[in-house]
């Protein structure tokens, strides 16, 4: 094997026009860092991520797969082995959003609760469970789980999302303790990040106003770019973070420390 390999789940570019996404930015950044990248997503815009990586001189393959399905994960692992021989990094980025999920615990249906946890928590658990043997076989590596500041603070009517993110942090700590020193695991907790999927239906003026309103809660006076998450993932995936293990790294421009102040 000539270089390292990373699997990034939820790594499709924005689903309508291939615009920016957090998983896409992570995949592109890891490719620039020299990894072969296995791009995993339910959505066909994963192919767009591969095209962008290849246009930059990198190596990548797209596997259209559902990370909640064990058979699909088997396909991801087999393809990774066949194409690149091993695995050195797993980044879990998938998330399920839906209007039925944005409810308090009294109002959310059991079906919506379970369906959200199936992706946002079990999709992370299953990818870790089935890739850890390959990481170990390959001499060890890193796992980076994309969590959220909603793991620490409660956004109104985001009950199951918050619970899933707090559980991801706990999952990360369990992996960190059980598999060190061969595998290090850390979580990244973004605040609001600009992504195409939530922006597609808004006009440029509406977008500017929306981002401006959100930025009022952020000391940086702007919202986060996907690349600013990808840089942190790159650091946690690589050797320069060699003594960071089991941590929940907040990347929110200082939002959580400002006690609700409006800037
Ligand atoms: N956008 C933000 O402001 C923000 C803030 C904090 C945390 N996050 C986290 O960042 C990550 C990326 O989210 P995003 O906001 O970019 O959303 P997104 O919808 O653009 O990305 C999620 C991706 O996961 C894919 N996906 C969903 N279920 C899947 C499954 N079962 N199997 C395979 N792929 C699946 C989707 O197709 C999509 O491409 C998520 O974990 C999210 O919770 C986002």
Chain segment 228-263, per-residue pLDDT in tens: 999 999 999 999 999 999 999 999 999 999 988 999
Q: Which of 35, 124, 161, 218 is catalytic?
A: 161
- Which positions ≥6 away from 232 have C-beta within 8 Å? 188, 249, 251
Q: Is a pLDDT exceeding 90 seen at residue 98? A: no
- Which positions ≥6 away from 225 have C-beta within 8 Å? 20, 25, 193, 194
Residues of the chain with pLDDT > 90: what percent? 89
Does residue 127 contact residue 67 with C-beta atoms inside 8 Å? yes
Phi, psi for 125 (deg, rounded to 5): -60, -50
Q: Is a pLDDT exceeding 50 seen at residue 143? A: yes
pTM, two decimal places: 0.97
**C-alpha 225 to ligand 1 mean position (Å):** 14
Average pLDDT over residues 35-39: 98
- β strands within the chain, DSSP E: 5-9, 36-41, 60-64, 89-92, 141-146, 183-190, 248-251
> For the segment 170-218, what is each residue's pLDDT rounded down to a tens digit?
999 999 999 999 999 999 999 999 998 777 678 888 989 999 999 999 9
Ligand 1 pocket residues where CB is under 6 Å: 9-10, 12, 21-23, 41-43, 66-68, 93-96, 119, 123, 146, 148, 190, 192-193, 195, 197
C-alpha triplet 113, 118, 119: angle, nearest 5°: 110
> For the segment 118-139, what is each residue's pLDDT rounded down to a tens digit?
999 999 999 999 999 999 999 9
In this structure, what DSSP letter does residue 223 have? P
Please name the fold of domain 5-251: Rossmann fold (3.40.50)
Closest atom of ligand 1 relative to the 66 alpha carbon:
32
């Amino acid at each position: 094997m000539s270089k390292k390999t990373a699997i990034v789940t939820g790594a499709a570019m924005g689903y309508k026009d291939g615009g920016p996404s957090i998983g896409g930015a992570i995949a592109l950044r890891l490719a620039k860092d020299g990894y072969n990248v296995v791009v995993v997503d339910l959505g066909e815009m994963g192919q767009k991520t591969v095209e962008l990586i290849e246009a930059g001189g990198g190596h990548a393959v797209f596997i259209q797969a559902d990370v909640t399905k064990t058979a699909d994960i088997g396909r991801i692992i087999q393809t990774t082995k066949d194409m690149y021989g091993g695995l050195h990094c797993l980044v879990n980025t998938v998330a399920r959003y839906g209007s039925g999920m944005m409810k308090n615990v009294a109002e959310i249906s059991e079906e919506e609760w379970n369906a959200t946890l199936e992706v946002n928590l079990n999709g992370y658990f299953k990818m870790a469970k089935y890739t850890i043997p390959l990481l170990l076989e390959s001499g060890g590596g890193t796992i980076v789980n994309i969590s959220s500041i909603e793991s620490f603070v409660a956004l109104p009517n985001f009950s199951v999302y918050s619970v899933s993110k707090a559980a991801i942090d706990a999952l990360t700590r369990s992996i960190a303790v059980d598999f060190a020193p061969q595998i290090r695991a850390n979580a990244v907790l973004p605040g609001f990040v600009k992504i195409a999927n939530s922006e597609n239906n808004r006009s440029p003026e509406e977008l500017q106003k929306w981002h401006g309103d959100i930025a009022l809660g952020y000391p940086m006076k702007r919202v986060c770019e996907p690349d600013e998450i990808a840089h942190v993932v790159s650091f946690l995936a690589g050797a320069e973070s060699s003594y960071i293990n089991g941590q929940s790294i907040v990347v929110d421009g200082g939002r959580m420390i400002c006690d609700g102040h409006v800037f």
